[in-house]
Chains A and B, each alone.
Chain A
Amino acid sequence: MRLTQILLRQHIGKHIKKHWRVQGKKIPRESSALQSLKDKNIPIYEPNEILEETRTFEKVDVIGIIPKQIAFDSTHPNWHSRVCHTYKDENVLLEGLNQAKCLTRTVELQQGLPDKIIIKNSSKELDSRVKKIIYNSHLFDSEQVKLPKLKDPERPAWNFPRLLGISESRRNVLMVAKLLQLIESLSGPQLTKQRFVLNDLQFAFPFEKSGDLIQFLIKGDTLITSDKPLQPITQDAGQDVQLPNLYPIKDTVTLNMENIYEMKNVYPVQKAISKHHPHTVFIHYNATEVKNIYEEEVTDDQILGRSLLKTFTVAATYAKEQFGEDVKVLPKPVTMQAVQSDGKFFHFGVLQLNTLDLDSEDGPKNIWYQTDKMSLFESCSYVSGKPTLVGYNNDVIKHLLALYDNV
């Protein structure tokens, strides 16, 4: 047996540690000096009061030093103890369209778009131009960026080679911009003169509903504004139609619960401009960004709900800007059109906003018209090295033309 084992049989390491800990905090022993000085009225100072230099430091701006980032916790200037339910670009609602209807107090009176919007036939020439636009935005654009990772649910650990190509967001931007340019070129200067096209606008609509604080914070990717507001569609305020029943869930389910927020109505286009009335909002749908908070795939119904919620936000912020912060039932309904697209599918909707009193039991409701989700084409890709477009559907361009021409 080795000597060390015997020597270390009594392990005194922890005793030494303890000793250091105890001795490290020296407790001064009470002496009677303090008391006797006090008795003789001799002033007593703490040593630091005399020795320590008292100096206030001025803050100096040093170039190149990055200021400390604001922490997103209770020290944040916009922190509130009351929770706000927010809806943002990347969110979808659990119950999709029905939940959106409950949140915005909206009902559907009929299937399809209002009869006022007349869908005309498209010419062969127009179709060929649209096909060129599809080729151009989906295949022939030369952007090469990393695309989202491919995953196979059957074998989740398998790493596919990373693909490079046109990003989803760019495809959306190109499709909408090019289709819009084509439509405007065909509509003639008399009509286009009355319209204006704005990109990347931020809208915010805060409100309270059943004691919950809710705020919609959304982006209008492209907004067509016009010099006159769109005419209302119907006199029927939907009083006979019931809102969908979501029981047992609450209508704020799957909204983000946040403490850091700023409640402010934002309609970004200024009132002083003649063309500030919203006409049509184009909403981009980006499959990698828009997600459920649980891992399920986004359903078609949720996409339709997204259209309604975003259109409502644009219309409601405009209505508040137009009729004042406290407006409840609007003196004149606000009508607004919406197109949601991921470059392949298109969803068209029209909203007539009658009221911003979203909490009341009865009274007018908002009216929503919509088409089904329609595909512009079945597929557009390189099929074994050949650019191929399959299943072009000209209904989409017909609807777009009809919406643009609507006044």
Chain B
Amino acid sequence: MSIIRLKALRSLGPSRRCFSVGVQQEDEYVPVAQYPKILDTSYEAKQARKKEAKWKEIKDVKTVEEKQIKLNMPRYYGFKCYVFQEDKVPYNNLNLAQHITKTHLIPTRTLPEFYNDISVDGHLVAIKSQIEEALLIEYEGYKRNNTNLTEKQIEDALSSSIVKQLNRILINNLVEDNSHLLDTQVDYDARIEAFWYAGGMNPPLNVKKYRTGVEWRKHTEDDPVDRAIHYSGSPSVQLRNELPLPPIIPHSEASNPDFKVPFFKYDPRTVGTTTTHKHAANIAGYWPGEKYQFGLMSYHKRGHMLERNFGDEADAKEALHRQGILSSFGWLSAQANMLGFTTFNEITYPMVTQTVITDGQKFSFYLYQMNTILMNGDNYKENPLKNVCWAIPETELFEEIKDGKLVGFNDEVLKSLLKFYKNVPQERLGVNLRPYLAGEKIIANYSDDDKRNWLEREYKYLVSNRPRFKLDYEVYHWEKIYKIDHKTRPIEARRRPFELFVDPWKRTLDDRQPNYIPRKLRPDLPRHKGRYAKEYFP
């Protein structure tokens, strides 16, 4: 008997054996036939399943840094990002900012009810006099070195030194009764970056073009396309603690249908956003390993308002709201990434921050509760959770300085500030703050020296967003003219990517030669072995 036939007989084996024993299991039969779920085999469904599997993979990665590298795996030269900077606000940008952060904006005159329980009257008088004095000193008390600075830079410098004074006075006076302030880290001019995907917007022209080029994808021509968003900002002062602030509204309230987010369907470039290639970097002002991971509040500059000359008051207000929303969400989502969540893995508890935008005299307060970071794909309509932002519009701390005295000091502004400082971060009972981190949690805890070193180097290299040693790909002008538009060189060997029909931008992060180990440094192995260093891509 040949082997093949034997195999065929074996494959019939079990069922035969079952019959031959002649025992019938009763639970083998059910009254109504139950069929396995039928898999949708359409292209879209298959793509969706692939994506789900990838997101699951990211979720299962054990450490923060590896998750961030994993996020970056698809692109060697970085993703095409829509760049949002804190201090560059184009015209008519609020709706877009709300859409990409899924934020419901609540303009209000007073702080939400949550703050009613915090009493500040005991401290007000003592602090007020000190703050008045500090403001006078900052405005008129000493000589600043403002040579060669623009108007914006002068205002930003003034604002950040006033903010430092306010922060100093408030902490010094409140720290005795509020021990959480002693355990708070204060950052100055921290670097904040955030990366996430936002969906729901019309496809760009090139995407439409390739979709219409393929017969079986023509019907998807107008389907929305996700945009990679990159936010960067730098608060003059920010406060961090080991524990998170309590939520302002319960998490369940976040899916309230009354919360409305404006739908922005156009390409963000239509309202002045630019694109560039960047690696996904989520930086909340500190590296993984830092214990103080939850933001309490941040102060931001508003010198960019001086450079707006659109002559539209409504737009000026919107510009501040945009800054408030983006800086709050940007910081919180970077924090969420440091806790092991990513733009594909939803946060499991709400996070809160308090944002102040000021030039020293005008104060705008923002309270932000982040309930979701899932914005990609169809989440703009299917994810019921929404982020909420309370915005207290611009108020003046004082009216003017006359004859060396402050006129019209506004206690309400100071009270709001005091309430922000006295809002005590608390432990979340029964909540695992880092549910998607396991085992080592950060790479510094790995016992393998080589792996730790490799991951540390790779992670810092990626998020620094420094240019690659080899410059990225471009089609030269002469190629466009003589090779693409007019095929004048048909006999030449086809070596360039556009002649080989490959997209060089789709090169993946691990598509590269590992480091070469010189023979001298190799262990005693055969000549062809151990040439390349080991790599630890997650």
Question: Quick check: B287 and A386 within 8 Å, CB to CB?
Answer: no
Q: Which of chain A's residues have a CB closer than 8 A to the CB of B456?
A: 382, 385
Q: How large is the interface on B (under 10, 10 to 19, 20 to 34, 35 or more residues)?
A: 35 or more
Q: Which of chain B's residues have a CB closer than 8 A to the CB of A139?
A: 287, 289
- B85 located at the interface, meaning its Cβ lies under 8 Å from any Cβ of chain A in the complex: no
Question: Quick check: B285 and A142 within 8 Å, CB to CB?
Answer: yes
Question: Quick check: B286 and A140 within 8 Å, CB to CB?
Answer: yes
Question: Quick check: A136 and B290 within 8 Å, CB to CB?
Answer: yes
Question: In the complex, A164→B120 CA distance in Å?
Answer: 44
- B161 located at the interface, meaning its Cβ lies under 8 Å from any Cβ of chain A in the complex: yes
Q: Which of chain B's residues have a CB closer than 8 A to the CB of A24?
A: none
A185-B285 contact given A144-B191, A199-B161, CB 8 Å threshold: no
Q: Which of chain B's residues have a CB closer than 8 A to the CB of A268?
A: 142-143
Produce 1/0 per residue, B162-181, CB < 8 A to A.
00110010011101100001
- A201 located at the interface, meaning its Cβ lies under 8 Å from any Cβ of chain B in the complex: yes
Question: Quick check: A140 and B287 within 8 Å, CB to CB?
Answer: yes
Question: Quick check: A384 and B191 within 8 Å, CB to CB?
Answer: no
Of B30-38, B218-226, B447-455, B518-526, the segment with at least 4 beta carbons within 8 Å of chain A is B447-455
- A103 located at the interface, meaning its Cβ lies under 8 Å from any Cβ of chain B in the complex: no
Q: Which residue of chain B has its CB nearest to the CB of A180?
A: B168
- B25 located at the interface, meaning its Cβ lies under 8 Å from any Cβ of chain A in the complex: no
- A290 located at the interface, meaning its Cβ lies under 8 Å from any Cβ of chain B in the complex: no
Question: Quick check: B186 and A178 within 8 Å, CB to CB?
Answer: yes
- B130 located at the interface, meaning its Cβ lies under 8 Å from any Cβ of chain A in the complex: yes
Question: Quick check: A142 and B171 within 8 Å, CB to CB?
Answer: no
Question: Quick check: B289 and A140 within 8 Å, CB to CB?
Answer: yes
Question: Quick check: B137 and A273 within 8 Å, CB to CB?
Answer: yes
Of B199-207, B208-216, B458-466, B490-498, the segment with at least 4 beta carbons within 8 Å of chain A is B458-466
Q: Which residue of chain A has its CB nearest to the CB of B457?
A: A385
Q: Is the interface of A mostly helix, strand, loop or mixed?
A: mixed
Question: Quick check: B286 and A270 within 8 Å, CB to CB?
Answer: no
B residues 185-200 in Cβ contact with A at 8 Å: 185-191
A142-B283 contact given A136-B185, A386-B444, A386-B452, CB 8 Å threshold: yes
Produce 1/0 per residue, A156-197, CB < 8 A to B.
000000001000001001100110010011101100110011
Produce 1/0 per residue, A263-280, CB < 8 A to B.
000101110111110000
Question: Quick check: B452 and A202 within 8 Å, CB to CB?
Answer: no
Most buried by A among B141, B145, B189, B453: B141
Question: Quick check: B188 and A174 within 8 Å, CB to CB?
Answer: yes
- B357 located at the interface, meaning its Cβ lies under 8 Å from any Cβ of chain A in the complex: no
Q: Which residue of chain B has its CB nearest to the CB of A170?
A: B189
Question: Quick check: B286 and A141 within 8 Å, CB to CB?
Answer: yes
A residues 68-108 in Cβ contact with B at 8 Å: none
Q: Which of chain B's residues have a CB closer than 8 A to the CB of A148?
A: none
B469 to chain A minimum Cβ distance, whole angstroms, is 9
Most buried by B among A181, A268, A382: A181
Residue of B171, B187, B290, B449 touching A385 (CB-CB under 8 A):
B449
Question: In the complex, A136→B242 CA distance in Å?
Answer: 14
Q: Which of chain A's residues have a CB closer than 8 A to the CB of B455?
A: 385
Question: In the complex, A269→B446 CA distance in Å?
Answer: 53
Question: Quick check: A185 and B171 within 8 Å, CB to CB?
Answer: yes
Q: Which residue of chain A has its CB nearest to the CB of B286?
A: A140
B536 to chain A minimum Cβ distance, whole angstroms, is 11
Residue of B142, B190, B286, B292 touching A198 (CB-CB under 8 A):
B142
Residue of A177, A198, A266, A387 touching B186 (CB-CB under 8 A):
A177
Question: In the complex, A202→B165 CA distance in Å?
Answer: 19
Question: In the complex, A177→B126 CA distance in Å?
Answer: 24
Most buried by A among B137, B173, B185, B289: B137
Question: In the complex, A192→B141 CA distance in Å?
Answer: 19
Q: Which of chain B's residues have a CB closer than 8 A to the CB of A184?
A: 168, 171-172
Question: In the complex, A30→B357 CA distance in Å?
Answer: 82
B65 to chain A minimum Cβ distance, whole angstroms, is 10
Question: Quick check: A144 and B463 within 8 Å, CB to CB?
Answer: yes
Question: Quick check: B130 and A185 within 8 Å, CB to CB?
Answer: no
A142-B287 contact given A188-B176, A198-B142, CB 8 Å threshold: yes
B492 to chain A minimum Cβ distance, whole angstroms, is 36
Can you sample 7 A-B contacts with CB below 8 Å? Answer: A140-B287, A142-B285, A170-B189, A189-B126, A189-B176, A197-B164, A273-B142
- Pick the 6 closest A-B CB pairs, nearest first: A385-B452, A385-B456, A268-B143, A140-B290, A144-B464, A192-B172
* Chain A residues engaging chain B, CB cutoff 8 angstroms: 132, 135-136, 139-144, 164, 170, 173-174, 177-178, 181, 184-186, 188-189, 192-193, 196-202, 266, 268-270, 272-276, 382, 384-387
